[in-house]
Amino acid sequence: QVQLVDSGGDLVRPGGSLRLSCAASGFIFRDYYMSWIRQAPGRGLEWIAYISDRGTVTYYADSVRGRFTISRDNANNSLYLQLKSLGDEDTAVYYCARFGPTVTYFDSWGQGTLVTVSS
């Protein structure tokens, strides 16, 4: 079955960097658009980035554009999110999610990985 496993979350100081990973299995990874979505403690869901199936198209929310970079390795069925210039507002659980076939909804989610930005 479809499985997405998020990893890489950690405690990081303001201004620091981190790379998150998402290992995919159970489906043909290279055929799907993928996204990262985050959730600050006690808050709602915020979409932050997506990448096309071949990795040629990326798009970001205004809140992270220029600081975060989404990428993928289709040979190794992996999705990544590089986070830089982190601030308190970036503290959240980060989920990778698979877009459904019509690229309009998220039909599978990772379990999430917690990023805490604090001095």
Residues making contact with other proteins (CB under 8 A): 35, 44-47, 50, 59, 61-62, 95, 100, 102-112
Nearer residue to other proteins within complex by CB, 87 or 101: 101
CB atoms within 10 A of CB 74: 16
Min dist. Cβ of residue 45 to other proteins (A): 4
Min dist. Cβ of residue 38 to other proteins (A): 11
Tokens of 48: 């932050």
d(CA 73, CA 88): 29
Bridge partners, residue 81, by sequence: 20, 70
Going by the DSSP 8-state scheme, the letter that residue 101 receives in this structure is T
Min dist. Cβ of residue 14 to other proteins (A): 26
